[in-house]
Amino acid sequence: MKTRITELLGTRYPIVEGGMQWVGRAELAAAVSNAGALGMVTARTQPTPAALRIEIARAQALTDQPLGVNLTLTMLGAAVSYDEWIDAIVDSGIRIVETAGNNPGPVVERFKRAGVTIIHKCTSVRHALAAERLGVDVISIDGFEAAGHPGEDDTAALLIVPATKAAVKVPVIASGGIADGRGMAAALTLGADGVNVGTRFMVTQESPIHDDIKRALASSTILDTQLIKRSIKRTGRFWRNAVSEEIVAIEKRLGDASNYDAIKHLISGPTGREALENGDSQHGLICAGQVVGLFDDVPTCEEVVSRMVQGAEAQLRGALALFEREAVPA
């Protein structure tokens, strides 16, 4: 396949692995890259920039294909220096970075000086336009269906993708609700130059999470995720379990953004990591998109990418056939 994304990133297919906290480790990222997509090591999964250097080196030893790093920027408004994280990424020879979370302004200049291609994840057209003005090379736009933080506007991919495509000049990657060839074909038809895939790669053989979590996600329906942290304007989509239900119950009872302290112990990072590692699906937040209801198996990354590309081609050829007309007899 050839799109502006494959040309820019050097991949065989316009598919990018989503940056997933606790999940985007070396083995998964390398497997995605080896399958022809863009694997993504998640920087802030590592405790320090030094540990990130080691993780990138591990991934690079497993693939000779293009590889990216996701760097999530703090959403808490604090003044944070990213210099050591940037040094770890650039010194390791990484030339593709996905930024997410907060305004990418503090890191764009440093990355651009190093010749790094910057993908910035956005949840609204206004944020996409701001990121483009700052100099990012690609916009990855999240629809309401996406795992993680889909923003506060509740805009589905069917709307946000073409709206973003119409507003910006840089390539656009569609994110949210994409797990197979149908979703990929839809995104490309909406004008996207590529797709971002998180939850589907999370439930693969190479994914580092516990097999019990993979099976639980693979047996889920499209109704088995829910939105939390809406009361504090940091909406996140997670798999529905005892922890997410408790958070929603507290938010409903207390009702306003002043009650962050009441849910702080339930949304802390370590509890989610522990659940993913030990397989206890009810005792930690597990990030997942609504696409959990679109698959029921645990394939390899190679199988996911191959199915997605072949499925997209079949969908697009089928759509084209709707416009074919029989030849009129002479």
Two tokens, residue 186: 């839809």
Question: Where does residue 324 rank: exposed (0-12), middle (13-18), buried (19+ CB within 10 A)?
Answer: exposed
Residue 49 belongs to a domain: yes
Alpha carbon of 146 to those of 15, 66, 194, 287: distances in Å? Answer: 15, 24, 15, 10
pLDDT in tens, the chain (330 residues): 999 999 999 999 999 999 999 999 999 999 999 999 999 999 999 999 999 999 999 999 999 999 999 999 975 555 678 999 999 999 999 999 999 988 999 899 999 999 999 999 999 999 999 999 999 999 999 999 999 999 999 999 999 999 999 999 999 999 999 999 999 999 999 999 999 999 999 999 999 999 999 999 999 999 999 999 998 888 999 999 999 999 999 998 887 655 778 888 888 777 889 999 999 999 899 999 999 999 999 999 999 999 999 999 999 999 999 987 665 566
Shared domain for 127 and 255, answered yes or no, is no
Q: Is residue 182 in a domain?
A: yes
Contact between 86 and 110 (Cβ < 8 Å): yes
Classify burial at 28, counting beta carbons within 10 Å of its beta carbon; exposed 0-12, middle 13-18, buried 19 or more: buried
Q: Do 97 and 239 fall within a single domain?
A: no
Q: SS3 of 227, please?
A: strand
Q: Are 49 and 159 contained in the same domain?
A: yes
Q: Tell whether 284 is covered by a domain.
A: no
- Quote the domain boundaries for residue 243: 221-278
Q: Do 41 and 100 share a domain, yes or no?
A: yes
Report yes or no on 197 lying in a domain: yes
Q: How far is C-alpha 287 from the chain's CA centre?
A: 11
Kindly state whether residues 90 and 129 are assigned to the same domain.
yes
R_g of the chain, CA atoms, integer Å: 19
In a domain, 328, yes or no: no
CB 40 within 8 A of CB 98: yes
List the structure tokens of 216.
């639980």
Any domain includes 321: no
Sign of CA dihedral 34, 38, 44, 50: positive
d(CA 186, CA 3): 15
**Same domain membership, residue 127 and residue 23:** yes
* Residues 6+ positions from 82 with CB-CB distance below 8 Å: 71, 73, 106, 107, 110
**What's the burial of 226, exposed, middle or buried (CB within 10 Å: 0-12/13-18/19+)?**
middle
Predicted pLDDT at 330? 60
Give how many domains the chain has, as a whole number.
2
Q: Is the pTM of this model over 0.85?
A: yes
Q: Are residues 153 and 240 in the same domain?
A: no
- Tokens matching residue 142: 């999240």
Return left, alpha or beta for 209; rule: phi > 0 is left, psi -120 to 50 is alpha, else beta: beta
- Same structural domain for residues 182 and 240? no
* 202 domain residue, yes or no: yes
Residue 290 maps to a domain: no
Tokens of 167: 């507003």
The CATH number of the domain where 176 resides is what? 3.20.20.70
Residues 98 and 233 in one domain: no
Residues 22 and 164 in one domain: yes
In this structure, the answer to whether residues 25 and 101 fall within a common structural domain is yes
Decide: 162 and 197 in contact? Cβ < 8 Å: no
Q: Are 282 and 243 in contact (CB under 8 A)?
A: yes
Helix ranges, 168-241 (H): 181-189, 199-202, 211-218
CB 114 within 8 A of CB 139: no
Same domain, 67 and 187: yes
